[in-house]
Amino acid sequence: MTETLNRVKTYQQFINGSWADSASGETIDVENPATGEVIAAVPSSGQADVDRAVEAAATAFESWSLTTPQTRSLALLKIADIMDANADELGRLESSQTGKPTGAAIDEMSVSSDLFRFFAGACRVPDGLAVTEYLEGHTSMVRRDPVGVVASIAPWNYPLYMAAWKLGPALATGNTVVLKPSARTPLSALRFAELVADELPAGVLNVLSGSGSAMGDMLVSHPKVRMVSITGDTVTGKHIAELAAGTVKRLHLELGGKAPVIVFDDADADLAAEIIKSAGYWNSGQDCTAACRVIAGPQIFDRFVSALSDQVRSIKWGNPADADDLDMGSLIAQAHADKVEGMVNRALEANAELVTGGTRPDRPGAYFEPTVIANPEQDSEIIQDEVFGPVVTVQRFSDEEQAVQWANDVRFGLASSVFTGSIGKAMRTARRLQFGTVWINEHFTLASETPHGGVKESGYGKDGSKYALEDYTVVKHITINTGV
């Protein structure tokens, strides 16, 4: 599926069980953001490629949708085993296109394979209404049928993990998929498809490597695509929702986040700081659930800021090629580092205080120093918009009411957390937080069984958990006239 041209590999797309260049013959370069070097080229998909992939998926749906849960489950279990067996290679490939530490990228593979295993099991135990007679002489039953061809559109921050969130429930329930990874990070999805190609009938999984701007609209508006599942920016999600309305497609939108972390005065400041060291800076803070917005109580504020800055200064970061066990690598691109730097500078110009970090190293690659900013205004850009970088802000609240009000006062609603020693305060606050997830004395723990997804402009639909099986199926009611 690949050939080596000018020292970098040129990949092909995976359509209907075989490998193909783009119909136009055009390619897109893929960079390693930790060095700025071009590491591969992939096909730049266009309308003809989209048409071929969607047609292949639509044809494959006719038979894949009629397979038994056992057949699909066994295929997913094999896929999980293949991921595990190739975790080192896939993780290193992931690291090379995202700039994330290799150890972390390799660890993402076992989390991803577990999603396939979870959905392999979950699809065999569907639940629902009992079959019964709601009208005399009529027996009613409810089926959950697959939706059809699903366009699965993934972001660059966890390329294969996000793909697994989508592929697991979609394939387990009998849908067929056209997967579009981010054009910045298509390599792991293409290699994954190559590794698992023999486990799925042709056309059940197709992978197109084109950019969202060049071919995204074609995929989303294709009349034979019945559902679009996108994980990405809220602006992209809104655009896709508008396009999908044209053919009334089902949508699954996992969009941006701006997670608040309320640290009450009775919290363990050291525990909160230790958890935020990981949850705020993991993947260079390029995480929709990143613990990026701390709202701390008046008594604990100074102690917490001091503990957090100690933790942040201990973060080991740099080029993933230098060591496997770094805490943080590069950001995804120079342009993204520019964006992060701009937001930090504007926050400081607006009188927020720099506690630690705030600079970019003078070397190739898209790096930004782990940063803590204190006392930004609630209505400032750095509080209201996604930074998506290694930057955590800390605000000082005056009372519980203000803490909750500030936490909710953003347009996003994906994830949040509360640190407190009081179970009553934790549960009271969790109830009032308008976010899809609330962690208590914790942040950023997920399992395949737990639902992940947002409210407000973070979108709708759940990844992981049995709720994802609902998202990827449609309810069909059948009534039989039994006579008497």
Is residue 256 involved in binding ligand NAD (CB under 6 A)? yes
Among 101, 212, 297, 413, binds ligand NAD (CB under 6 A): 212
Segment 266 to 325, residues that bind ligand NAD, using CB under 6 A:
288
* Residue 259 is a binding residue for ligand NAD (CB under 6 A): no
Q: Which is nearer to ligand NAD, 112 or 157 (CB)?
A: 157
Among candidate residues 281, 331, 273, 283, the one with its CA nearest the CA of residue 304: 273
Terminal Cα-to-Cα distance of the chain (whole angstroms): 62
**Residue 44 and residue 211 in contact, taking contact as beta carbons nearer than 8 Å:** yes
How many Å apart are CA 195 and CA 483, to the nearest integer?
54
Q: Are 204 and 39 in contact (CB under 8 A)?
A: no
- Which of these ranges, 48-56, 81-89, 130-138, 229-237, lies near ligand NAD under the rule CB under 6 A? 229-237
- Choices 99-107, 119-127, 150-158, 359-367; region in contact with ligand NAD by CB under 6 A: 150-158
Of positions 205, 220, 276, 295, contacts ligand NAD by CB under 6 A:
220
Binding ligand NAD (rule: CB under 6 A), the pick from 233, 324, 338, 442 is: 233
Report if residue 109 touches ligand NAD, rule: CB under 6 A: no
Q: Does 414 bind ligand NAD (CB under 6 A)?
A: yes
To ligand NAD, the closest distance from the beta carbon of 303 in angstroms equals 30
- Nearest in space to 292 (alpha carbons), one of 306, 275, 283, 279: 279
Tokens of 440: 């208590």
> To the nearest whole angstrom, how small is the minimum distance from the Cβ of residue 191 to ligand NAD?
17
> Is 254 among the residues known to form the active site?
yes
Nearer CB in complex with ligand NAD: 386/470? 386
Q: Where are the alpha helices (DSSP H) in 123-175?
A: 159-172
Is residue 396 a contact point for ligand NAD (CB under 6 A)? no
CA dihedral 384, 289, 185, 165 (to 10 degrees): -130
Q: What residues does 132 pair with on adjacent strands?
A: 140
Interaction between residue 186 and ligand NAD (CB under 6 A) = no
Instruction: Give the interface size with ligand NAD as a residue count (CB under 6 A).
Output: 33
For residues 293 and 296, what is the distance between their CA atoms, to the nearest angstrom?
Answer: 10
354: number of CA atoms within 13 Å, CB side?
15
The reply to whether 149 sits near ligand NAD by the rule CB under 6 A is no
50: Cβ contacts below 8 Å, ≥ 6 apart: 178, 208, 215, 218, 219, 222
Q: Report the nearest approach of ligand NAD to the CB of residue 236 (Å).
A: 3
Residue 465 touching ligand NAD (CB under 6 A): no
CA distance linking residue 460 with residue 251, whole number of Å? 8
Residues that bind ligand NAD (CB under 6 A): 153-157, 162, 180, 182-183, 211-213, 216-217, 219-220, 230-233, 236, 239-240, 254-257, 288, 386, 388, 414, 454, 458
Catalytic residue list: 254, 288
